[in-house]
Structures are given as C-alpha cells and as structure tokens.
Copies of this chain bind each other. A is one copy, B any other.
Amino acid sequence: MAFQNGNSKKKLDVVVVGGGLVGSLEAIYLAKRGHRVSLYEYREDIRNTPNVRGRSINLALSVRGRKALKGVGVEDHIVNEHGIPMRARMIHRPDGTTYSIPYDARTNQCIYSVGRNYLNGILLKESENYDNVEKYFNHKLVESNFQKGSLTFVKMDTKETVQVKADLIIGADGAFSAVRKEMMKQPLFDFSQQYIEHGYLELCIPADENGGFQMPPNFLHIWPRGNFMMIALPNQDCSWTVTLFMPFNHFKNIDTEEKLLEFFGKYFPDSIPLIGEKKLIEDFFGGSPSALVTVKCRPYHVHDKALIIGDAAHAVVPFYGQGMNAGFEDCSILNDLFQKHNDNIPNILQEFSSTRWQDAFAISDLAMYNYIEMRDLVTRPSYRLRKAVDDFIFWLLPNVWVPLYNSVTFSTMPYSQCVKNRQWQNKVLIMAIAALGLLSFIIFYYSK
C-alpha cells in the first residue's frame, strides 16, 4: 500500500487487541496509513458464527460514528444499504396508544439502526483490502509487557503459545479489557467500574406473515415505565430487537409464566401480540439478564507503547446510543493525531490520553443521566416543555442554540463541550425566566 500522505516515514508494527467494532475499524485506519497491523481476537471470526443473542443493544449509528466510517470509505455502504433510519422516538403508553418525539424537528436528521454483527463483518471484510493487515482469531491475550512492547497469546484451539512484539499496542478489547487490566498495574492509574442496578434482557418481535414490519419502522420505540423500560430497534429482516431494562430483583421476582404475562399485560400490553405469548415466555426464561457497567479510567496509555480505546477505555451504559459512536470517534481522533504528529507515537499517545478522557467522562455521565430520562423523564410535561423551548430557539437560532441531544448525536462537538453548552443554555433560560418575571411585575405594577 502507498502511504496516505506520501511521506517516507517508518512503517510501524502495530498490534490491535480485539477484533470487535472499534478494533477492526482502528486496524483499517492504521493500515490505510501504511503501518503493518496484526489484529488479535479472542473469539472466532464473527462472520463464521451464527448470530449471537444478547449482543445487539446500543447500535444506533449517529454522526460521530458515521464520520469515522466515512474516513475509511465504508459509510455510504453501511448507511444507505443496511442502516434503518430512525427519525423519532415513538413512546408507547401503558394503554397501547403512542406518540412520537422527533430527534431533530428542524432538519430532520436521524440515527440509524445497524446490526452489530453485520457491521463488524463489513469492517473485517474491508480490512481484507489491505495486504498490511493480518488477522488472528481464537487468540487470547495472556501476558503483556508494555515496556518491551511484547505480548503473549494462547491459541484457543491448539493451546499453542504465540509471542509477538510491536512498536505500538492498541487495546480495543472491550469493557473487560485484558490490556487495561495490565495497565492498572502502573502507578497513578485512576480507574472505576460501576454497575447499575438494572440488567437487560433481549426479546424479539418477528416480521409479520408478509415479511413486513409489525410496527412503524422509522422509530426507536420506547415503553417508558418509570423505574424500568423496554425499547425496540428495527432490523433489516423486518424483525425488532426488543430490550427490557429492569432492576435485577424485578427480573428475579418474575419467576412463573403467569407472573410474566401479568407483568407484560399490565405494562406492555401492546407488545404481547407482537412478540407472541409463546415466544415471550421462551425468550424471557431462556436467557438471564445481563449487567451494565460504566468504566472510567485514565491515562489511556503507558510507556509510549500501549493505548486503550473504545469500551476498554470508556465503557458507557447504552442509554445515549453513543457507546459505539464514541469508540469509532476514538479512531478518527487518533487518525487526526497520527496526521498531526506525523506518526510520532509518544506525542500521539500523550495528546490522546490527556485530552480524550474529558469527553469520555462527559458522555459517560450523559449516558447515565439519559438512563433516567428515557425510562422516566421523557413522559413528564416538564421534559416535553423544555424540549419544545429548545427546539423553538434552535429553529430560531440554529447556529447559537443547539439542544443537548442534537449536539451529542448530530454534531462532532466534543462531548465535554456539549455539556458546557447545555449548562450555558440552562443559565440563559433561568435569566430569561427571571427577566420575564420582572417585566411582568413592572407591567402589572404600572398598569394598575
């Protein structure tokens, strides 16, 4: 491959640990810059495995993710051929009636529902266009020495040990990252993992007998019920991936078919005929709820040799639909830094590590906040009033007043800036209300 920028710079040996969404995208970015990339993945090649249940939440592709995919030339294909646009939230009331809240009333932008496995497959396939990418599946990382840049993998089938050396190690191995576990041994490494009391369980609404959607497809459907909620995202085959989020002890209490049907009959009655009673019982009792964790840490690098990105660096709860997007954004930011620092690894890692955490912490906190918004606040008049006000000013002053959700989802404004922006908007609104109050008082006083 020719170098993207035509420089005669040194080719680096880079090991990417983790062949999931972020790892495979990062491998392509690095290959595109001419580096020799070895991608190691603990699991089998996902393209050879049947669809795995329980691995599909959180795949709402938005602007940050799209920009990163565009950077390696796969955005169009994914969005146009395989993404299902969702233009609004459709809220299901307990009585089965619905109403919708558009994501972007002004310019009608949307988020795209994309299957995780499908997207992962596309990225792995894309990497085959680069002859400087080698992929090793069924390889488990068992030891690492970041100072020396050496890693030891065990081949899952033969139990053979493989030693590799690299100029740069990138850990994109998810929320329970083995690379990060090794990094934790360095001094002054801040780390936190926090589980929420809610677990999630996946259900499915199949296509109808004509192979069509059973619900209007261009929506993210939400059944907000205060302390718990259910959501549904459309799939390419006209089925829906339905996810129930609920405190673990609620799950535990529903231990008979009667209780399950009673529960669904009370809170999600309109979903029962869509899912089908038999299938509901089967899926509910066939799986057990999975946990949701937030991981924050810093720094993201060590010894000018190793870096973590994606969920390994900042796993977030899925309620802002930004987990994958933030991970993809890591790849495009990193690519910009490779360009800026002309592939000088120490400078790249230093800058990524010292700047990215603020945005990662910000989206982490936003996602945790949205966890309450989606299941509860969204139904309240105060939420809808604020949204109406925001949307109105946004319509009036589109360059000045971008509502929080829009700046997070439909812009590449740094997440931390989105938060600051919102705080500024809050201040302005409070002052405006105070001014209005004062004005009313003055008018009232003089018109007596």
Contacts and interface: CB of A to CB of B under 8 A. Distances in A.
Interface in A178-196: 187-195
Contacts of A191: 191-193
A38 to B, nearest CB: 28
A345 interface: no
For this chain, the copies found in one complex come to 2
A189 B193 CA distance: 8
Interface residues of A, number: 10
A193 B193 contact: no
Given A187-B291, A291-B187, A192 B195 contact: no
A188 B195 contact: yes
A194 B190 contact: yes
Contacts of A194: 190, 192
Contacts of A195: 187-190
A197 to B, nearest CB: 9
Nearest to A294: B190
Contacts of A190: 193-195
Interface string A116-132: 00000000000000000
A423 B371 CA distance: 28
Nearest to A197: B188
15 contacts: A187-B195, A187-B291, A188-B195, A188-B291, A189-B193, A189-B195, A190-B193, A190-B194, A190-B195, A191-B191, A191-B192, A191-B193, A192-B192, A192-B193, A192-B194
Please list the 6 inter-chain residue pairs (A to B) with the smallest Cβ-Cβ separation, ordered nearest first: A192-B192, A188-B195, A190-B194, A191-B193, A188-B291, A190-B195
